[in-house]
Amino acid sequence: MNVFQNSPVPAVSTTTRRRVLRGLAVTTAATTAAVCLPAVASAASASPAAPRPKTGGTSPTYTLTLIHRGRTGAPTGSFRSQLTALSGTEAGASLQPYDESGTVTVQVPAGRYLLDSTISTERTDGTEHRGIDWLVRPRLDVDRDTTIVLDARAAHPVDIRPPVPDAEFETCGAFVEVTHEGTTGFANVVAYTPDLRIAHLGPATEAGAVRTWVDGYWSRPEGVCFLGYAFRTDRALDGLVRHPALGDLATLVVRAAAPASGAGVAFVDLSPSAGPSPSLSRPLTVPGSATFLIAAERGTVDVMYSSPADPEKTPTRYLTRGIELTAGATTVHTFDTPVFGPALDSSPGAEPAARRTGNVLDVAVPLLADGDGHTPSSPLFTAATTALYRDGALLGTRRGTPGEGSFTLPAGRASYLLTARASRPHGSVTAAWTFTSARTASTTEIPLSVVRFSPELAVDGTAPAGAASTVGVAVRGAAERSGVRSLVVSVSTDRGASWSAVPVSGGRIAFTTPGPGRTVSLRAELTDAFGNTLTQTHIDAYAAGAASRAS
């Protein structure tokens, strides 16, 4: 009978596009898989001496027979195999043929394929986990009737071990991408057992056509170990052995304060930027911290932090991409701590926070980034307004997400005042920008600037009361590029009733923190080299704690 199957969702998210491999006739005695396993496969091939093309479609087809054997060498139905076309009209499509006998036959068009097979074997040591063998043939050129023996005994162990005794294995993922003539095929296996073995089958591909990576995660009482290794070559992996020393790893410390909504359990998800990867969600009682030991050679990592929230409410989430790490060094990221305020993304290719296209002004300034500059996806606020004035006359007011709004403007050049305000359960943030603008022929950035304040605070977001204090002051945005004509920073300890200007020296200001329980408010008045201005005010930016504290 003819059976067509959709390509399954991979065990982890991926942007690799896959679809049904159309035009294949599948001969099988069963139409449903007997086991639900991560995709994995192993192969050895034997081909008849002479090709025997079949008819069907516009190109010749051939018989492909897959024989699956477990670790004892006996036939097994505990497998999931995937065939991905890398050439021809079906390039990029995939098929998962199955037969409970362990032998399955399909008719496939001539061409280049990626074949992978996962074979699962019950363990005999009394554990609940299965042994997983992943066999990958990155180059299968079908130009004749072909038989492939996928034998689990060909696989070699993935032996990756962290250098700390308190690490407990959680999960490991192995991945392969094979590129041929502009088409990329993807396959992977995710195992929840340390008994994972992998193998390369068949001939090598073209140089550099195969990208493989293995990511392992271990939990620890105070954090997570992440060991990941990536390769680009002409073959899949034949096992992998890595036993790094502690000095070979980078340390990432994630600190988190209790948000204004209250203490509780937050979650930290860490994964390599060059994914996909299984990832591992780590609970974190806040205020508190977690320590991640990471194989820096895997590249930069992304961290998703989700603050504590009631079950019926959406948590505040921060996604920080591309954290650079160095073996033997420690990097610290602190989430949900003051000073909350506007932040601008200055990374290459980032969208402008405010831009005009023709007569439309679109504004999306993250108004409540935390003290480290992490931008929340759903900021915690009680009220927010964004308003635009043209030559002193109000054009419109938008309410909702802080710092966001879209406005239709007259075409002529005019002076504008853009204001954004957000109130939090404790305190508020206001920014007011002036600039000139006229109709544009294409999307044009509006020259906005922000000031970032960085006080030295405990993880609970407080500074020692009555002590000498320094606060970092950094200019970001248009003024950072064009230059600062003037900058005045003022401090208030009575919630903005009165202000005292303090000099900025070496990118810092210095003053005495008020008594226990009182707050510090901050204000910056800036003019850039072209005369665009910013007035930025933080009422109750942060609080004074006890007279002394542990760092």
- What's the chain's average pLDDT? 87
Q: Which of 123, 156, 189 is the last residue of a domain?
A: 156
Residue 372 shares a structural domain with residue 465: yes
Task: Determine the average pLDDT of the residues in 269-273.
Answer: 95
For residue 4, pLDDT over 50 is answered with no
Q: Which of 104, 130, 156 is the last residue of a domain?
A: 156
Burial code of 313-340, b = ≥16 C-beta within 10 A, e = fewer? Answer: eebbbbebeebebebeeebebbbbbbbb
pLDDT in tens, 369-396: 999 999 998 888 999 999 999 999 999 9
pLDDT in tens, 163-174: 999 999 999 999
Burial code of 421-454, b = ≥16 C-beta within 10 A, e = fewer? Answer: bbbbebbbbbbbbebebeebeeebebbbbbbbbb
Residue 128 shares a structural domain with residue 273: no
| pLDDT for 550 | 42
User: Does 550 reside within a domain?
Assistant: no
User: Does 14 reside within a domain?
Assistant: no
| pLDDT for 461 | 86
Residue 66 shares a structural domain with residue 34: yes
User: Does 348 reside within a domain?
Assistant: no
| pLDDT for 257 | 84
Letter for the amino acid at 468?
Answer: A
Range of the domain at 434: 354-544
DSSP E strands in 53-102: the ranges are 61-69, 79-85, 93-95
Cα dihedral sign, 535-539-544-549: negative
Residue 190 shares a structural domain with residue 147: no
DSSP E strands in 307-359: the ranges are 317-323, 330-335, 354-357
| pLDDT for 378 | 84
For residue 538, pLDDT over 60 is answered with yes
Return the SS3 of 481: helix
Alpha helices in 458-531 (DSSP H): 478-482
Q: Above pLDDT 90, what percent of the chain?
A: 77
Q: Which of 129, 156, 183 is the last residue of a domain?
A: 156
Contact indicator for 211, 177 with CB cutoff of 8 Å: yes
Q: How far is the C-alpha of 266 from the C-alpha of 263, rounded, in Å?
A: 9
Give 400-433 as a 3 state SS string.
CCCCEEEEECCCCCEEEEEEEEEECCCCEEEEEE
Predicted TM-score (pTM) of this structure = 0.81
Residue 469 shares a structural domain with residue 362: yes
Bridge partners of 319, per DSSP, are 304
| pLDDT for 129 | 65
pLDDT in tens, 474-520: 999 999 999 999 999 999 999 999 999 999 999 999 999 999 989 99
Instruction: State the pLDDT confidence band at 11, using cuts at 50, 70 and 90.
Output: very low
| pLDDT for 285 | 92
Residue 112 shares a structural domain with residue 247: no
Token digits of residue 402: 């802080």
pLDDT in tens, 335-364: 999 999 999 987 777 889 999 999 999 999
Residue 151 shares a structural domain with residue 183: no
Per-residue CA distances from 448 to 312, 349, 528 (Å): 37, 17, 9
Per-residue CA distances from 10 to 13, 17, 63, 187, 195 (Å): 7, 11, 27, 8, 20
Residue 327 shares a structural domain with residue 359: no
User: Does 184 reside within a domain?
Assistant: yes
**CB-based contacts of 261-266 (< 8 A; 24+ apart in sequence):** 261/307, 261/308, 261/309, 261/310, 261/313, 261/380, 261/425, 262/308, 263/287, 263/308, 264/308, 264/309, 265/308, 266/305, 266/306, 266/307, 266/308, 266/315, 266/335, 266/336
User: Does 80 reside within a domain?
Assistant: yes
Q: How far is the C-alpha of 343 from the C-alpha of 164, rounded, in Å?
A: 38
Please report where in the chains the tokens 């790094």 appear, as a residue: 244
| pLDDT for 545 | 87
CB burial of residue 46 (10 Å; 0-12, 13-18, 19+)? exposed
CB-facing half-sphere around the CA of 476: CA atoms within 13 A: 20
Residue 70 sits in a domain of what CATH number?
2.60.40.1120
Q: How far is the C-alpha of 339 from the C-alpha of 463, rounded, in Å?
A: 12
| pLDDT for 125 | 63
Helix, strand, coil fractions of the chain, as percent rounded to 5:
5, 50, 45
For residue 27, pLDDT over 70 is answered with no
User: Does 10 reside within a domain?
Assistant: no
Return the ∠ at Cα 55 (arms to 52 and 61), rounded to 5°: 60
Torsion, CA 266, CA 267, CA 268, CA 269, rounded to 10: -160
Task: Determine the average pLDDT of the residues in 189-217.
Answer: 96
Alpha helices in 153-241 (DSSP H): none
Residue 382 shares a structural domain with residue 506: yes
For residue 53, pLDDT over 60 is answered with no
| pLDDT for 6 | 33
pLDDT in tens, 103-115: 999 999 999 999 9
Residue 359 shares a structural domain with residue 452: yes
Residue 255 shares a structural domain with residue 192: yes
Task: Average the pLDDT over each of 23-27, 194-198, 206-210 and give the range with the smallest value.
Answer: 23-27
Letter for the amino acid at 322?
Answer: G
Q: How far is the C-alpha of 135 from the C-alpha of 83, rounded, in Å?
A: 12
Count up the domains in the chain and report the number.
Answer: 3
Bridge partners of 48, per DSSP, are none
Residue 307 shares a structural domain with residue 193: yes
For residue 39, pLDDT over 80 is answered with no
Contact indicator for 26, 95 with CB cutoff of 8 Å: yes
For residue 410, pLDDT over 90 is answered with yes
Return the ∠ at Cα 107 (arms to 102 and 108), rounded to 5°: 110
For residue 56, pLDDT over 80 is answered with no
User: Does 29 reside within a domain?
Assistant: yes
Return the SS3 of 440: coil
